[in-house]
C-alpha cells in the first residue's frame, strides 16, 4: 500500500512531538519550552494571529520592543502616559517568560517582579513621589534581565534552531538594552549628576537619552552624546560593554555549533 506523502509542516509537527515525548520520558520535571510550544495545526488550514503569537512569543516581544522605541518619544509629555506604556510592556514581558519558561517557578518569579513594579509604577505616576522612582527602576531592570536570561535558556535548550529562536536573538538584545537603561535611570536618581550631555549638561537625562546610551553601548557603536562622569555610572557602562561583546560571541558560537552539528548529522545520514 502506498504511503501518503506528508507536507513539510506535518513532518515538522511529528518531529516536535517525538522530541517532546523523549524529553518527557527522560526528565518529566523539566520537559522544556519545546513541549509547550507544540500545538496542533488549525483545522481550517489557516494560522490565526493568536496561534502564531503563541508559537512565536519571541517575535511578539521583539515587535513590541521595537514599536516602543518609536512610540515612546511621543509619550514623554506626562508621567501617567509613560507609566501606562511601561505597564503594558511589563505584561508582555510576563507573558513572554510564561511562554518560554522552563518551570512553574520561572513564571512565579516573573510575576513576583512584575506585580509590584506595576503597582509602584502607577502609584509613582499618580502621586509624583520621587522616592518611589529607584524602587520602580530596580524592579524593572531585574524583570528585564530575568526575561533576557529566560530567553537565553530557551535558545540553548535543544540542538535544533527554530524561527522563534532567531527572533529571540533580537529580543534578548533589546531586553538587555532596556534593562541597562533602567539601571542608568536608577543610578541617576540615587546619584544625581551621573550622566551629562552637550545639551543642558546640568539637567537629569531623559529616558530616551539613557535608552540611546544603552543601545549604543551594548552594540559597541559609541554614538551617544551622553557621557557617564561619576565612578558608579562609568562602572555600569563598562559592565554593559562586556555584556554586549559577550552576548555577540555567544550568539555567533551558538550558530556555528548548530551549523556544524547539522552538517555532521547530514554526513552520517548519507553514509
Residue 48 lies in a domain: no
- CA dist 64 and 2 (Å) reads 48
Q: Flag residues of the chain having pLDDT under 50.
A: 1-46
Residues 37, 146: one domain?
Answer: no
Residues 158, 211: one domain?
Answer: yes
Contact (Cβ atoms closer than 8 angstroms) between residue 65 and residue 191: no
| 8-state DSSP, 1 | -
CA distances to 20, 198, 264 from 247, in Å: 28, 30, 26
In the chain, the N- to C-terminal Cα span, in Å, equals 28
The confidence score (pLDDT) of residue 161 equals 75
The confidence score (pLDDT) of residue 107 equals 74
pTM comes to 0.75
The confidence score (pLDDT) of residue 31 equals 40
The confidence score (pLDDT) of residue 10 equals 46
- CA dist 142 and 179 (Å) reads 7
> How buried is residue 112: exposed, middle or buried, by Cβ count under 10 Å (0-12/13-18/19+)?
middle
Phi first, then psi, for residue 144 (nearest 5°) are -65, -40
The confidence score (pLDDT) of residue 79 equals 66
Q: Containing domain of residue 34, as a range?
A: 1-42
Q: All 3 cell numbers of residue 49?
A: 494571529
**What residues have CB less than 8 Å from 201, skipping those under 6 apart?**
none
**What residues have CB less than 8 Å from 34, skipping those under 6 apart?**
16, 19, 20, 23, 157, 158
Residue 121 lies in a domain: yes
Residue 96 lies in a domain: yes
The confidence score (pLDDT) of residue 53 equals 67
The confidence score (pLDDT) of residue 229 equals 94
Domains contained in the chain, number = 2
Residue 51 lies in a domain: no
Residues 106, 151: one domain?
Answer: yes
Residues 110, 16: one domain?
Answer: no
Residues 131, 21: one domain?
Answer: no
DSSP string for residues in 27-74: -TT---HHHHH--PPPTTS---HHHHHHH-HHHHHHHHHHHHHHHGGG
**What residues have CB less than 8 Å from 81, skipping those under 6 apart?**
75
Amino acid at each position: 500500500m502506498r504511503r501518503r506523502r506528508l507536507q513539510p509542516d506535518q513532518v515538522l509537527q511529528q518531529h516536535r512531538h517525538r522530541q517532546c515525548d523523549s524529553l518527557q520520558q527522560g526528565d518529566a520535571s523539566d520537559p522544556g519550552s519545546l513541549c509547550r510550544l507544540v500545538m496542533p495545526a488549525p483545522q481550517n488550514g489557516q494560522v490565526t494571529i493568536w496561534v502564531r503569537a503563541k508559537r512565536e512569543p519571541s517575535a511578539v516581544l521583539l515587535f513590541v520592543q521595537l514599536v516602543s522605541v518609536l512610540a515612546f518619544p511621543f509619550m514623554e509629555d506626562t508621567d501617567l502616559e509613560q507609566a501606562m506604556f511601561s505597564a503594558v510592556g511589563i505584561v508582555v514581558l510576563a507573558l513572554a517568560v510564561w511562554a518560554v519558561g522552563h518551570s512553574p517557578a520561572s513564571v512565579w518569579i516573573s510575576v513576583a517582579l512584575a506585580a509590584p513594579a506595576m503597582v509602584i509604577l502607577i502609584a509613582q505616576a499618580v502621586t509624583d513621589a520621587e522616592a518611589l522612582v529607584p524602587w520602580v527602576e530596580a524592579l524593572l531592570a531585574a524583570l528585564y534581565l530575568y526575561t533576557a536570561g529566560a530567553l537565553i535558556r530557551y535558545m540553548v535548550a535543544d540542538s535544533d534552531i527554530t524561527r522563534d529562536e532567531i527572533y529571540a536573538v533580537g529580543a534578548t538584545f533589546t531586553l538587555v538594552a532596556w534593562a541597562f537603561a533602567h539601571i542608568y535611570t536608577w543610578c541617576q536618581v540615587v546619584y544625581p549628576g551621573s550622566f551629562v550631555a552637550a545639551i543642558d549638561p546640568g539637567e537629569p537625562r531623559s529616558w530616551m537619552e539613557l535608552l540611546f546610551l544603552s543601545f549604543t553601548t551594548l552594540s559597541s557603536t559609541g554614538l551617544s552624546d551622553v557621557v557617564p562622569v561619576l565612578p558608579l555610572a562609568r562602572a555600569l557602562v563598562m559592565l554593559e560593554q562586556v555584556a554586549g561583546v559577550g552576548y555577540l560571541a555567544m550568539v555567533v558560537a551558538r550558530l556555528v555549533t548548530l551549523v556544524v552539528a547539522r552538517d555532521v548529522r547530514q554526513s552520517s545520514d548519507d553514509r
